[in-house]
Amino acid sequence: MLPIARSELIQVFRNRSVLITNLLFPAAAAAFFIYSRDTFQGDGGLGYIGAVLVFTVGAFSLYATIVTTLAARRQTLFLKRLRSTAVGDPAILIGSVLPVVVISVLQAAVILGVFAVVSGRPADVALLVTAVLAAFLMLLALGVATAGVTGSPEQAQVTTLPISLGTIAVASWIGIAGTESMPWLKRLLPGGSATELVIDAWNGGVPVADSLLLLLPTVGWVVVSVALAARFFRWEPRR
């Protein structure tokens, strides 16, 4: 698993397209939101900006990069060759996505750290960490599932758009309008409950027990995504 991860890490830094589109773009977008935080605050206050930062990194650095990476490795028959070795399927998948996951988590930690320095620290750091990890786990599972229906890295630019833009749109909708109206619809959408959890963690004022209930829809999306990945993921190009 670790040799696969090391190889993938080298490939990430060699691929300029991935670096610019899926790593540098989220960082630039995050810098814009941090600089303009007073303009974009809605009902969610600073917590809303924090949620948008989380999903900007998660949607592009994590989700889109995973889909592109797995589609590329399938197209070049790299995944098929790995399956002919003694390495098991779970180890192949973990090794393939591990560098992207670690980079994304570190990127999110740095961006949220900068945001906390310039805007004030979150009310509940532990709850914020839980929210970010839950959101990233959901996007990771969705990435593997989406890779199952993505035939090439070029196609990934299209297949990733609904989730990438959709989760950011949901985060913006909840952050600006709140959850007073249509609360369960907003929470059941991908990223909706995780957005509310980030807002609660940053702004405070909500009992931890109530906030942790918001993990359930996110966990539900993880279960659905794993089931879809098991059904649709392919190790070699479709004929």
Closest-CA residue to 114 (of 55, 13, 37, 170): 37
Domain spans, the chain: 2-232
Distance separating alpha carbons of residues 75 and 209, to the nearest angstrom: 46
d(CA 30, CA 43): 20
Both structure tokens of 3: 């040799």
Cα-only R_g, the chain: 18
Q: What tens-digit pLDDT sequence spans the chain (239 residues)? A: 777 778 777 777 777 777 777 778 888 888 887 877 666 666 567 888 899 999 999 998 899 999 999 998 888 888 888 888 877 888 888 888 999 999 999 999 999 999 898 888 888 899 999 999 999 999 999 999 999 889 888 898 899 999 999 999 999 899 888 878 888 899 999 999 999 999 989 988 778 777 788 899 999 999 999 999 888 888 888 65
| pLDDT score recorded for residue 239 | 59
The DSSP symbol for 53 reads H
Confidence (pLDDT) at 86: 77
Which pLDDT value is given to residue 211? 79
- Tell me the two tokens of residue 108: 């999110």
How far apart CA 187 and CA 70 sit, in angstroms, is 29
**What's the predicted TM-score (pTM) here?**
0.91
